[in-house]
Amino acid sequence: MPITTALSRLALGGALTLAALGGAQAQDDVRIGFIVKKPEQAWFINEQRAATEVGEELGFRVVRLGGEDGQEVLSAIDNLYSQGAQGFVICPPDVRLGSAVMNRANQYGMKVITVDDQFVDGSGEPLEGVPHLGMSGYKIGRQVGEALAAEIEARGWDPQQVAALRITNNELPTARERTDGATDVLLEWGFPEENVFDAPQQNTDTNSAFSAASPVLSQRDDFEHWIIYALNEESVLGGVRATEQYGLGADNVIGVGINGSGAAFAEFSRSNPTGFHGTVAVSSTQHGRQTAESLYRWITEGEEPPANTETTGTLMTRDNWQDVRAELGL
C-alpha cells in the first residue's frame, strides 16, 4: 500500500475517532438553564435543587438563575448562551413574555420548556410550540374549594355567616384558574356568592397578600368566620397573618393554600394551630426533575416532550403533613 494511501486512511480513521469522541463529549457536556421568577421562594428552591440533582445523576449541568422581570429573563438567557447552554426550563415572571423569550432562544438555537406558568400569545391562548409542565390550575383550585367546604361542615359553621377572602392575581392566568376553581366548588356547594370578597394582590408573596387582605377584613367586621384561598400558600399565609392582626383566632379562620413547601411545613410545626388549615401539595421536586430530564432527552435524543403535562395535588394538613411530604418527596 502506498504511503500516501496509508497516511490518508490513518488520518481518516483518526478523524472518525475524534468525531466519535467529540459526539460523546458533546453529550457529556450538556448544559441547561433553570430560570425561575422567585428564586427565594421554597417552591422554586426545591424545583431548582431537584433539577440539579437529576443533572448530577444523568451527567449534565444545570445553571440556576432568577428572572423576576422581562429584562432579567433576557439577561439570564444571554448568560446561558455565553456558558454554552443548549436550552433552558423557565417559570416566567409574566406569561406574556413568551414571544420575546422564544425569539431570543431561537436566535441562540436553544430549546425551551416552561414549568408551572405557561406562555400565552396575544389572545391569551397557550403559545404553541413550547412544551409545558404544570399543575392543572382549575383542578387544583377545585381541590382547595372541596377542602374548604369540608372543613366548614366539620366545624358546624352556617355558610350564610361565613365570609370568603379570595386573594387574587388576575394578571396571571394560572392564578385566576386556581381561584376560579375554588370559587366554583364553593358556589356549587351552596356558599353565598355575595359573601366572597376579593383582595387583589400586587405580587404573589406573603407581604403583598397581607397588604391586600387587611383592608378587606377591616371593612367587613360583621363576619366572625372567614375562609381564605389564593394562588399559593404564601398568599394564604399573608391572609392568615392579617386575620391574626385583626384579632381573629385560629378557630374562626380556615385557610387552604397550594404548593406544599417550607412555608406550610413551618406553619404545621408550630406548637399551636393557626388559621392555616391546609394546602394542596404538589411536588415541586417532581416538576424540577421531570422538566430537566425531559429537556436533556430532547437535547441529546431528539425526544420532544408532550405539549402540555398537567399534575394534580394531595391535601396536606397539620394531621398528615409528614406522611404526605414523604410520599411526594418534598
* Residue pLDDT, tens place only, 114-172: 999 999 998 888 999 999 999 888 999 999 999 999 999 999 999 999 999 999 988 88
User: In this structure, are 51 and 181 located in the same domain?
Assistant: no
Kindly state whether residue 17 falls inside one of the protein's structural domains: no
**Separation of alpha carbons 84 and 81, rounded Å:** 5
The arithmetic mean of pLDDT across residues 278-295, rounded, is 94
Q: Do residues 132 and 310 touch, judged by C-beta distance below 8 A? A: no
Q: Do residues 261 and 280 touch, judged by C-beta distance below 8 A? A: no
Kindly state whether residue 299 falls inside one of the protein's structural domains: yes
Element of type H or E holding 91: none
Q: Which strands, in side-by-side order, build the sheet including 314-317?
A: 196-200, 162-168, 225-229, 253-259, 276-281, 314-317
* Residue where a domain stops, chosen among 263, 281, 299: 281
Residue indicated by cell numbers 404553541? 128
* 239-243 contacts at long range (C-beta below 8 A, 24 or more positions apart): 239/165, 239/167, 239/199, 239/209, 239/210, 239/213, 240/274, 240/275, 240/276, 241/206, 241/210, 242/209, 242/210, 242/213, 242/214, 242/217, 243/213, 243/217, 243/275
**Separation of alpha carbons 275 and 37, rounded Å:** 28
pLDDT for the residue 283: 87
pLDDT surpasses 50 at 3: no
Give CA separation, 186 vs 141, 161, 322, in Å: 10, 14, 28
Q: Do residues 305 and 131 touch, judged by C-beta distance below 8 A? A: yes
The arithmetic mean of pLDDT across residues 26-49, rounded, is 88
pLDDT for the residue 329: 77
Number of domains within the chain = 2
Residue indicated by cell numbers 408532550? 306
pLDDT for the residue 23: 36
Kindly state whether residue 152 falls inside one of the protein's structural domains: yes
User: In this structure, are 209 and 276 located in the same domain?
Assistant: yes
User: In this structure, are 171 and 239 located in the same domain?
Assistant: yes
pLDDT for the residue 60: 97
User: In this structure, are 187 and 202 located in the same domain?
Assistant: yes
User: In this structure, are 116 and 202 located in the same domain?
Assistant: no
Cell triple for residue 101? Answer: 423569550
Kindly state whether residue 325 falls inside one of the protein's structural domains: no
User: In this structure, are 171 and 123 located in the same domain?
Assistant: no
Give CA separation, 216 vs 17, 201, 304, in Å: 71, 12, 47
Amino acid letter, residue 287: H
User: In this structure, are 297 and 267 located in the same domain?
Assistant: no
Q: What is the pLDDT of residues 56-85, one digit of tens each?
A: 999 999 999 999 999 999 999 999 999 999
**Separation of alpha carbons 82 and 99, rounded Å:** 21
Which three-class secondary structure state does DSSP give residue 261? Answer: coil
Kindly state whether residue 306 falls inside one of the protein's structural domains: yes
**Separation of alpha carbons 153 and 147, rounded Å:** 10
pTM of the model: 0.69
User: In this structure, are 145 and 270 located in the same domain?
Assistant: yes
User: In this structure, are 178 and 217 located in the same domain?
Assistant: yes
Q: Do residues 166 and 199 touch, judged by C-beta distance below 8 A? A: yes
Cell triple for residue 27? Answer: 453529550
Q: For position 255, which CATH number holds?
A: 3.40.50.2300
pLDDT surpasses 70 at 22: no
Kindly state whether residue 320 falls inside one of the protein's structural domains: no
pLDDT surpasses 80 at 225: yes
Kindly state whether residue 6 falls inside one of the protein's structural domains: no
Domain that holds residue 57: 31-130+284-310
User: In this structure, are 62 and 108 located in the same domain?
Assistant: yes
The arithmetic mean of pLDDT across residues 179-207, rounded, is 96
User: In this structure, are 47 and 183 located in the same domain?
Assistant: no
User: In this structure, are 253 and 220 located in the same domain?
Assistant: yes
Cell triple for residue 130? Answer: 413550547
Residues in the chain: 330
Label residue 206 exposed, middle or buried (CB < 10 Å: 0-12, 13-18, 19+).
buried
